[in-house]
Homo-oligomer: A and B are copies of this chain.
Amino acid sequence: MYYCNINKRRSLLKIQNWKNDLMQILKDDIKERIIDVARKQFKQKGFIKASMRDIAKEVNIGVGNIYNYFHNKDELFHCVVKPVTNILEKMLLKHHGENGLEVLYKNKEENIQNMSNELFSFINGNKELLDILFFKAQGSSLENFSETFTDQATLIIKAWFIENKKRHPEINTNFSDFLIHIHTVWQFSLLRELVMHDIGEEEMKKVIQEYIVFETKGWKELIGI
């Protein structure tokens, strides 16, 4: 997997004095500037048409220097969208990995508010990146991110159901894999729509809350609790 963290390869032990600190800041600065410009270019032209030359030119560095920070164009793209892919993966694990069935009981008003706010701020704070990831990745190795992700998700959620069936044999898990899959897909299509269109904060929050209520209720109904 590509390695995108700022401060890559930085040995903390080495930061002993002002000189190293300054250098580190400068280097990180360049790396961030590259990512910023790349984000802009990818957004504007898509992965394929965005050119390393142009990115370098806009950052005001030599072309080759980009390759001191990223192995290739594809890794640069990965790093640009890393923030959102990271969160998406964490969300997947958090909501279905760590928690047991009880997550479905938590649909008290307050709890839904929290989840809704979380999702809202994720979408609102990452519109650009989500747009890039969903619609400008053609040609990169992330061009099938949605598909891959939903497939993975299906597997994880399926495993989660099997695990919970062991602990609560009374629940019903007799539904098709496709049902699980279609729900992951819906989640994404919701994301996509919310990303693509400029919906106001209130409306977006309302949509998200309704979605959460719907999903929780739906699943509780299905498993029979």
Contact = CB atoms under 8 A, between A and B. Distances in A.
A136 interface: yes
A138 B138 CA distance: 8
Nearest to A196: B185
A46 B138 contact: yes
A193 B147 CA distance: 12
Interface in A137-165: 138-139, 143
A141 to B, nearest CB: 13
Q: Chain A at the B interface: mostly helix, strand, loop or mixed?
A: helix
8 contacts: A46-B139, A46-B143, A48-B48, A136-B138, A138-B138, A189-B189, A189-B192, A189-B193
A10 interface: no
Interface string A190-217: 0011001101000000000000000000
Contacts of A196: 185
A206 to B, nearest CB: 13
Nearest to A147: B196
A49 B139 contact: yes
Kindly list the 7 A-B residue pairs having the minimum CB-CB distance in the complex, ordered from nearest: A48-B48, A46-B138, A138-B138, A189-B193, A185-B197, A189-B189, A49-B139
